[in-house]
Amino acid sequence: WTETLFPGAVILRRYAVERADTLISELDAILRQAPLRQMKTPGGRTIAVQNSSCGEFGWISDTHGYRYIRFDPISKAPWPAMPQGFKDLAIDAARAAGFDKFIPDSCLINRYLPGTKLSLHQDKDELDFNHPIVSVSLGMPAIFVFGGLQRSDPLSSIKLEHGDVLVWGGPARLLFHGVKSVKDQPHGTLGSQRINLTFRRAK
């Protein structure tokens, strides 16, 4: 059940539902090695969303800026490997949306507790914007907001639910987007949290 939201932006509703329990148990193992943490913005503010990563590169933010690095700054070890099931899901979803050359080298893990929001931003820390980004929503629903290529462009919003997958490529790759404050509507398996996995080609 797919729908194009904007040229290059495709929602694959419930695409990951059958794989969700496996993803969640693999995620548990990843987060034991690389726990979720709240990072600082370059300006020194605490990011509300909790983050971790798996794959060859992990996204970080600190007083020096936003970037992808090979080592978890907490453990000093390489980020946990990306499980093959994660990689397969991202590749399958990208292909279903028309991007047949996507191989992720990074998966950013975002956790939202009730009341957490993500302000409007663009994803510009990757080397090559020709690669799409694939996002997988798990747990509580959230209202996702997206606009245009300028912050001032009008916004649209859609509800993202457990198992929904979004692919953002081509003309949609640099759209402004964010997430409204997440309401507490506990999910059957994940409880009072929303997890978002974004698969990227960082380098």
Q: For ligand MD3, which residue of 10, 54, 138, 175 counts as binding (CB under 6 A)?
A: 175
Tokens matching residue 72: 């978890």
- Write the interaction track for Fe ion spanning residues 41-80; mark x where CB under 5 A is met and - where it is not: ----------------------------------------
Cα separation, 112 vs 118, whole angstroms: 9
- Tell which positions 105-144 bind ligand MD3, by CB under 6 A: 108, 110, 118, 123, 133, 135, 144
Contact map string, positions 69 to 108, toward ligand MD3, x by CB under 6 A:
---------------------------------------x
Instruction: Please state the closest distance from residue 179 (CB atom) to Fe ion, in A.
Output: 9
177 touches ligand MD3 by CB under 6 A: yes
**Is position 199 an interface residue for ligand MD3 (rule: CB under 6 A)?**
no
Site of interaction with Fe ion (CB under 5 A): 123
Site of interaction with ligand MD3 (CB under 6 A): 108, 110, 118, 123, 133, 135, 144, 166, 168, 172-173, 175, 177, 179, 196, 198
